[in-house]
Every structure is written in C-alpha cells, then in structure tokens.
Amino acid sequence: MTRQQTLYEEARQSLVGGVSAGQRYNGELGRPLYLDRAEGSRLYDIDGNEYIDFHGGSGAALFGHNHPRIRQALLAAMERGFFMNYDSEDTVELAGLVREIFPSCEKIRLANTGSEATQGAIRLARAYTGRNLVLRFEGHFHGMHENVWFNHNAVHHVDQFGEVDTVPDSAGFPVEASANVVNVVFNDVEALEHAVAKYRERIAAVILEPVSYNCGCLEARENYLSAVREICTREGIVLIFDEVICGLRMSPGSAQRRFAVLPDLTTAAKAIGGGLPIALIGGKPEIMDRFNPLGDVAMSGTYTGSLLPVVAAVECMKMSLEDGFYEHFDHLGAQLFTGIDELLAKHGLPGHVRGLGARWSIYFGVEDPEDDYDFRKVASAFDRDLDKRFVHAAPTVGLWFHDTSSSITPAHRALMTAHTQADIDETLEKIDGIFADLG
C-alpha cells in the first residue's frame, strides 16, 4: 500500500471524507492527492512522485509554487511580525495597484475569499438600490453562499423566454433563498431584457463572470457585455463583474479592460494573492462608500488585510504589470492548445481545446467550437466518461489534472508563469501517449 493510501485511511478517521475541503477529493483517484511540497510548475507527493501541475490550485497559483519574489516578501513580513487586524503602508500600496490594474476599482474593500467578496458586493448592491433580487446566469459560479449559489452545475427547466428555474447547488439552503434569485441563460440579450422587464425595479444586481472558466472557458459573445452594461445603466441595476478567476488571467486590466466594459462593482481573488488567501471588492465611490465606517453596510473581518496576503498580493500585482507577462501565456498557450487539438485529431478523439489567457479546458465530445458559447449545448455534448479516463491516466505519466467527480462541463485547467517551453513539450508528448490508449 502506498503512503498516499495509508494516509487516506488515517485521514478518513478524523477528516470528513479524508479531506479538509470537499473539492480536494479527486474522483478519479478515489482519494485526494497528499503533497509533500510544490516548486515552480511541479507537485511532489508524499510517495515521491512528481507531476507537472495543470490544476494550479483551482486558479490561485497563477505564479506557480513557491515563487521566489512572493517567498521573499513573505519572509520579510514574518520578520515584521506577520500581524493581522491592522493596516499598513503595504495595504495602501496594494489599493493603488488594484486601481491601476482594474479600471473600475476606484475604491476597494479587502476580504479573505471570493465567496466573501461576492457576498459583500451583493449586500452592497441591495443597500445602494433599495431592491432585493439578484439576477445571475446559468452555469456561472459566484461562491458557496445562499445569496447566489444556484444553477452552477446542473441543467434545469428553462421557459420560452430564457428564464431558468432557480435551484440551489447544495442541500441545507433556506426554503425562501431561491425567491431572491433570478436565473437566465447566458449570451442571450433577449432573455435578459425579458427578465429585467418582468422584475422591473426589483433587481438590485446583475452578477456574471465575463469569462466563465467554471464552465470550461465560456466567453461572453461579442458586444454581449456592452448590452448588459447598457441595460443595467438604463434600469438602475448594479452590474457586478465576478473576476475571482478572470482577475490577472488575461491582458492587463483583466476581463473588464479586454472587453472594454466597466462594471459598477468588481470582485477578485485567487490569482491576486499568489497562493495566499485574499480577495477584494472594488467599484464606484458612491457605491463603495456605503461600506462601514462611512456607510451602513457592514463588512469586516479579523483576518481581512493581514500582512502576509497583502505583501504577497503587492508582488503579484507588480509582476502582472511587467513587460512580457501576458506574452508568456499567449506563447505557451498557443502551442499547448494547438498541440492538443492536433493530438485529438491524430487519435480520432472528439473534442477541442478552448483557452483564454492563463486558463483553458479540453472539451471532450464537443465538436463545434461555436457551441462553447452555450452552457446547455456544452453540458449536453461533453463526454464526461472520456474526460474521466483522461484525468485518471494523467498522474500515471506525471501530469496533474484535478477531477471533482461531478462536473457536467469541462473543468478549467492552468497555465502558470512557472510553466516552461520544456514543460509544454513534455506535456504534449505524454498526452500523445494517453490519447493513443484512449482512442
């Protein structure tokens, strides 16, 4: 028995399911991956196995593992006392960098997780508008709280106008929670217009992922976000861009600058901390100033803005602004995505790759890339069995693609600053062998 299996049996006695979080369980391994260490683009498990990492900490490890600049910043903060519950010059420096990178974030409030950030943004929108309903889009994910955790990983009934039955993604929700949320299909302006007219002057916020990596790599169609922005402005609705995964992932300014559409509020997390837990809400001063201590919307926390994640985030922001940062992802991504597409064709496997910036997915079973813009079409065509077989085979040749065992759309995969040309060459060679066995 491997040390992995032995530790899993021990962990199951005291950790629910043998894991500290539900998503750590890898459905294809039948257990989590217990690590000894991580360095650069590589993971090293407790049995001494080495993997090229394409999970990237669910998107948090954009800068790879144990990045020397982030490590040095953390060591310096340790010497200063790694304090919490106080701000510092670093906090103010971080806020200035956020303003530079996210054009909509004129003022910010820090948080610890993406879920905290979206929860705070929704609370703020409700207070600012005096309305209650939140409109969200089928397939998008905005955190694990009762304000908005609906319709992410399942297809439910949709009416003729594009409104989808609101169904929680977890047991244990209050029965009345669904009454506060409206779901519509994504990338359909008419569906949004109909819902806005139906619930006129009741919708506080429209929240969306400009690129829903939680659905693989579901991009907004051309001009769609501009239409959403126009509708929200016209109707007095607060528009929230959830850039928890998008943030720093593509071109300077992230999705809002790439698509040239500014939301009223932005939430960000994951990559901005380089592996440390930190998140933020940013937006227009007239909305943000409703937060305490200036306003009547409470949002605070003991660990919010702690020194360690703040100094890590400062380094991440600075690195993202340096020359060549995004060219690295574009260069390696083009080779990886094209290479996998060619291997799929070579071995007669249905599917293709879609990626944008530093996040991507293999759409096994989805033949028409035009379908990628439609959550329901992808969910219908996605070959879950083929995907599971791929994920199961990858660790045996030293590649790591995480599997949560329940997704109905492709999982998002990582590109990191630590990935090299040699990593890509080795990965394509190994995927060639995997696909040969799958074909």
Residue 253 vs residue 125, higher pLDDT: 125
Q: Report pLDDT for 405.
A: 60
Judgement on whether residues 258 and 383 belong to the same structural domain of the protein: no
Q: Report pLDDT for 420.
A: 98
Residue 176 pLDDT greater than 70, yes or no: yes
Give the separation between CA 102 and CA 282, rounded to whole angstroms: 8
Domain containing 291 — which CATH number? 3.40.640.10
User: Which domain-ending residue is among 296, 320, 344?
Assistant: 320
Which pLDDT band holds residue 27 (cuts at 50, 70, 90)? Answer: confident
User: Which domain-ending residue is among 289, 320, 351?
Assistant: 320
**Domains in the chain, number:** 2
Q: Report pLDDT for 251.
A: 82
Judgement on whether residues 61 and 15 belong to the same structural domain of the protein: yes
* Structural domain containing residue 113: 68-320
Q: Report pLDDT for 26.
A: 84
pLDDT tens digit sequence for 341-354: 999 999 999 999 99
Judgement on whether residues 96 and 240 belong to the same structural domain of the protein: yes
Q: Report pLDDT for 238.
A: 98
Judgement on whether residues 126 and 162 belong to the same structural domain of the protein: yes
pLDDT tens digit sequence for 72-107: 999 999 999 999 999 999 999 999 999 999 999 999
Which pLDDT band holds residue 281 (cuts at 50, 70, 90)? Answer: very high
Give the separation between CA 337 and CA 360, rounded to whole angstroms: 8
Judgement on whether residues 282 and 342 belong to the same structural domain of the protein: no
pLDDT tens digit sequence for 140-165: 999 999 999 999 989 999 999 999 99
Judgement on whether residues 57 and 176 belong to the same structural domain of the protein: no
Give the separation between CA 373 and CA 414, rounded to whole angstroms: 20
Judgement on whether residues 294 and 159 belong to the same structural domain of the protein: yes
Calculate mean pLDDT across residues 172-189.
95
- The answer to whether the pTM exceeds 0.85 is yes
Judgement on whether residues 146 and 37 belong to the same structural domain of the protein: no
Judgement on whether residues 105 and 240 belong to the same structural domain of the protein: yes
Residue 292 pLDDT greater than 70, yes or no: yes
329: β partners? none
Q: Report pLDDT for 253.
A: 84
Judgement on whether residues 28 and 127 belong to the same structural domain of the protein: no
pLDDT tens digit sequence for 350-373: 999 999 999 999 999 999 999 999
- How far from the centroid of its chain's Cα atoms is residue 180's Cα? 24
Q: Report pLDDT for 175.
A: 87
45 to 13, 22, 50, 111, 276: CA distances (angstroms): 21, 19, 7, 31, 21
User: Which domain-ending residue is among 281, 300, 320?
Assistant: 320
Judgement on whether residues 51 and 10 belong to the same structural domain of the protein: yes
Judgement on whether residues 58 and 120 belong to the same structural domain of the protein: no
> Residue 148 CB: number of other CB atoms within 10 A?
27
Calculate mean pLDDT across residues 205-233.
96
Summary mean pLDDT of the chain = 95
Calculate mean pLDDT across residues 201-211.
98
Domain containing 338 — which CATH number? 3.90.1150.10
